[in-house]
Structure 1
């Protein structure tokens, strides 16, 4: 059985599990409180809720969650670099945006999918099928020599998450520094330096939520010191680290 994470209590909780689409996460939430903030994580999402399909682009700042209390959402969160193959546009076109899927795909196709999702007993499974089909179509359209794009995106994400410099990361994926920057804009929505900051924030939050002391969080996540950690969290999340650790 897929590993599942739950927060927010037994009723209307947020739940997520590894998707059948490699690298993605399927999540559901019956409680999206007004004022709840979605933090930068390098990912893009395909979201079903309130009778519509919405695309959430990669964020560089906190984004206020849509929908009032009791609104149910199901989403498929793609790994950093995975979204463009699904949505058919460079990630930079979606940065810090929430876009109706009908703005990216043919309207007739989106209306057909909306009808199917409205009737589906398990919309998450259908979202996975939709995304998987798009990934296959994108792979089939790639010319020879481009089939390794998803592997390259994963390698970039891994290197930056491990604290490698931009130059080291570029060398590791056989790109020049400028080429890497252009690649990252298309694949992730922002350049490698910003991607590294976002990935470091994700790591810091994982450690802090696991109860690791702040000074150790700073050292293990790659910050210069605890003050650097505090500045970066406030810059990207808009609030102090302690505010992000209060149970939902």
Structure 2
């Protein structure tokens, strides 16, 4: 089995369906970087939730294994799963620990038996989203504005939320406060630019960093790696 990763837009608005195989130690060592999102993940007898990350996590267990996941847009998964995001920050939580064990086992067995586990997982996510109703548009605005580089002060003013209220609602929706979310999304902007072959100094400036050294420090703090090494993965 050779390692492979694919993704596509999901039926759930703003979400992404992805599949991955881990075939050797190199594949398993791939890092999952902070992105402000939460994922519902199936992996051969397991159904678990990857909470919002503040640091990079290893991407696999080191043996041949298939994965399918739904990556939910920032701030949306807690409403679908019924769990505040901050309770899952930097964790990989079994669904059976969040819901009833019997229900989690039934869903896991259904996806295990499916000819296309990714499609079965997507159908589950669509049902959860339909039952929960539309995400809070105000929190969607917060995520989009911070992702576009607006400051926390600007976003607080735009939404009419005081600093404490914005922080409290951000913890429940995103897993951390707006300053941390802004930092994570700024890193993702810089990575996207660097992957598009934009020079590092220019990528840093366009993403909102003071300079390239500032970007390098943030990459090290949030991923434990360097920008050059991340681009080789």
Of 116-125 and 27-36, deviating more is: 27-36
For structure 2, the residue ranges without an aligned partner over 5 or more in a row are none
**Cα distance in structure 2, aligned partners of 1:150 and 1:70:** 39
Alignment of 1:73-152 (within 5 A): 73-139=67-133, 149-152=135-138
**Cα distance in structure 2, aligned partners of 1:175 and 1:136:** 28
The 8 Å contact of residues 14 and 31 in structure 1, kept in 2 or not, is answered as no
Pairwise CA distance, 1:12: 3.1
- Alignment-derived partner of residue 242 in structure 1: 228
Of 66-75 and 103-112, deviating more is: 66-75
1:17 and 2:8 matched:
yes
The 8 Å contact of residues 35 and 64 in structure 1, kept in 2 or not, is answered as yes
> Root-mean-square deviation (CA), in Å?
1.5
Q: The residue matched to 1:99 in structure 2 has which SS?
A: strand
> Which of 28, 34, 45 is the equivalent residue of 1:51?
45
**Cα distance in structure 1, aligned partners of 2:197 and 2:64:** 30
TM-score normalised by structure 2 residue count: 0.94
Pairwise CA distance, 1:65: 2.1
The 8 Å contact of residues 204 and 217 in structure 1, kept in 2 or not, is answered as yes
Pairwise CA distance, 1:174: 2.2
1:211 and 2:197 matched:
yes
Of 28-37 and 232-241, deviating more is: 28-37
Pairwise CA distance, 1:128: 1.5
> Which of 137, 142, 166 is the equivalent residue of 1:156?
142
For structure 1, the residue ranges without an aligned partner over 5 or more in a row are 1-9, 140-146
**Residues paired across the two proteins, number:** 230
- Alignment-derived partner of residue 175 in structure 1: 161
Q: 1:28-73 CA distances to partner (integer Å, 9 max, x unpaired)? A: 0112623222110001001100311011000001111232242110
- Alignment-derived partner of residue 182 in structure 2: 196
Q: The residue matched to 2:28 in structure 1 has which SS?
A: coil
Q: The residue matched to 1:77 in structure 2 has which SS?
A: strand
- Alignment-derived partner of residue 172 in structure 2: 186
Q: The residue matched to 1:231 in structure 2 has which SS?
A: helix
**Cα distance in structure 2, aligned partners of 1:41 and 1:188:** 10
- Alignment-derived partner of residue 31 in structure 1: 22
TM-score normalised by structure 1 residue count: 0.89
The 8 Å contact of residues 44 and 112 in structure 2, kept in 1 or not, is answered as no
